[in-house]
Amino acid sequence: MLDNLTGGIQRRHEANIAAGIIPPARDSLPVSISEAATIPAVFRALQIIQAAVEQLSIDVERGGVTLTGADVPALVRRPCLDMPRSQFLGYVATSLAATGNAFIMREGGPTATETTQLTPLNPHAVTVWHDKHGVPLFDYDGRTYTSDRIKHLKFLALPGMFRGIGPIQAAQNTMRSARDMNAYSAQWWETGQPSGVLSSDDRLTPDDARQYRNLWNQLDEDGKPLAQTDNPSRIRVLGKGLHYEPILISPKDAMWIEAQQFDTLDIARIFGVPSSLMLTAIDGNSMTYSNVEQEWLGFIRFTLSSYTRKIEEALTELAPRGQTVRFNFEALLRADTTSRYAAHETAIRAGFMTIDEVRAIENLPPLGITKPIEELTA
């Protein structure tokens, strides 16, 4: 699934520089989705969004009444026959988060009522364009489709742009910084020795300097790497008054830990994921139960709804006329058992919920009690 979202693009391999580790080049090339997914904070943010959407149930309403059982349209019960509903929803949400776009193919007859299943498409395999009349068209697998067949969901739609923009595309500078920091860390530990200067108390000829440099870098006379079977730990031996002095700043001097923490918080901000869910914290902030609860409510209202609302609208367009598809956030809004039961008690005593309605929320069978709570406790 990740290969589909990343378009099968693999991170380019950078050969180790023989002289040691140097800071990675800060090029202007965009960070691909596959590269971004190797950044721990980005992967965590994508996983949180996908897991949150997969936990949600879906309600279908008609005339203010929630449908149950066989009355729920088949495309809502199981949109795609090739995967469970939770996986379908998670794939669409991750497509939006990773690429800024999600495409859903409607299969079946020419009208929405004849839909047999919905198939989420690889966003990288769909080309979006408009004809001379401004009608959006989609090229996929060698054919051209209209919006009747392919539903296009955009994370952030900007005027004049055919495709949407996601967090990764919008924050390329942050992605480059986090990627380069990861590469710097990996390369530091890969060879165990940063680049530096070899100096000698004796006068060296150019041939001597080249020979000592190759020996230090464990290269032969032709500059090719030597086999490490006789020296697996890569021990260097200095002689003839040679001295080594590293020229790369240490991770401590480079404030590596602080830079990593800043990148993590910046990525959490870009994706709109609370720092508590990203397993990090902002210096000076206290993580109380009330603070965490408010963070999670904000995450549902202003981050998760950016994904769920678009999916709701797409499914509502395909559902039979008069039916509205809505996500049920009850599973995510549930507090601990004590707080949840206290809220249920308040609802029952206030008279706007019955005991059986509360039991339905807790996935318990009804008791058939229709009397008001005042009569039961009298």
Residues 6+ positions from 357 with CB-CB distance below 8 Å: none
CA–CA distance, 142 with 139 (Å, rounded to integer): 7
pLDDT digits (tens, 9 = 90+) for 35-84: 999 999 999 999 999 999 999 999 999 998 989 889 999 999 999 999 99
Q: In the sheet where 101-108 sits, what is the strand order?
A: 115-121, 101-108, 150-154
**Residue 101: strand, helix, or coil:** strand
**pLDDT score at 11:** 41
**Does the structure show a pLDDT above 60 at 161?**
yes
Co-location of 125 and 57 in the same domain: yes
Co-location of 11 and 45 in the same domain: yes
**pLDDT score at 9:** 42
Structure tokens at 116: 């047999």
Question: Would you say 42 and 168 are in contact if contact means Cβ atoms under 8 Å apart?
Answer: yes
Q: Is the whole-model pTM more than 0.85?
A: no
pLDDT digits (tens, 9 = 90+) for 320-371: 999 999 999 877 776 667 778 888 889 888 888 888 888 887 878 888 876 6
pLDDT digits (tens, 9 = 90+) for 259-303: 888 889 999 999 999 988 998 876 656 666 667 778 888 999 999
Co-location of 71 and 110 in the same domain: yes
Co-location of 154 and 56 in the same domain: yes
Alpha-carbon separation of residue 157 from 100, 164, 266, 331, 363 (angstroms): 9, 5, 22, 29, 39
Co-location of 218 and 282 in the same domain: no
Residue (of 47, 42, 11, 22) closest to 178 by Cα position: 42
**pLDDT score at 12:** 42
Number of domains in the chain: 3
Where residue 310 falls among pLDDT bands split at 50, 70, 90? Answer: very high
Co-location of 60 and 35 in the same domain: yes
Residue (of 100, 99, 87, 98) closest to 45 by Cα position: 98
pLDDT digits (tens, 9 = 90+) for 90-100: 999 999 999 99
**pLDDT score at 254:** 62
On average, the pLDDT of the chain sits at 83
**pLDDT score at 62:** 94
**Does the structure show a pLDDT above 80 at 307?**
yes
Residues 6+ positions from 51 with CB-CB distance below 8 Å: 90
In a domain, 339, yes or no: no
**Does the structure show a pLDDT above 60 at 2?**
no
In a domain, 179, yes or no: no
Alpha-carbon separation of residue 163 from 35, 49, 61 (angstroms): 21, 21, 31
pLDDT digits (tens, 9 = 90+) for 16-36: 444 455 555 555 678 999 999
Structure tokens at 134: 């401004």
Domain extent, residue 365, equals 347-377
**Does the structure show a pLDDT above 70 at 219?**
yes
**pLDDT score at 374:** 64
**Does the structure show a pLDDT above 60 at 225?**
yes
CA–CA distance, 45 with 36 (Å, rounded to integer): 11
Residues 6+ positions from 276 with CB-CB distance below 8 Å: 287, 292, 295, 296
In a domain, 183, yes or no: no
Co-location of 241 and 94 in the same domain: no
Co-location of 236 and 370 in the same domain: no
Long-range contacts of 356-359 (CB under 8 A, 24+ apart): none
pLDDT digits (tens, 9 = 90+) for 105-141: 999 988 887 899 999 999 999 999 999 999 999 999 9
Co-location of 237 and 272 in the same domain: no
In a domain, 341, yes or no: no
Average pLDDT over residues 154-182: 93
In a domain, 310, yes or no: yes
In a domain, 329, yes or no: yes
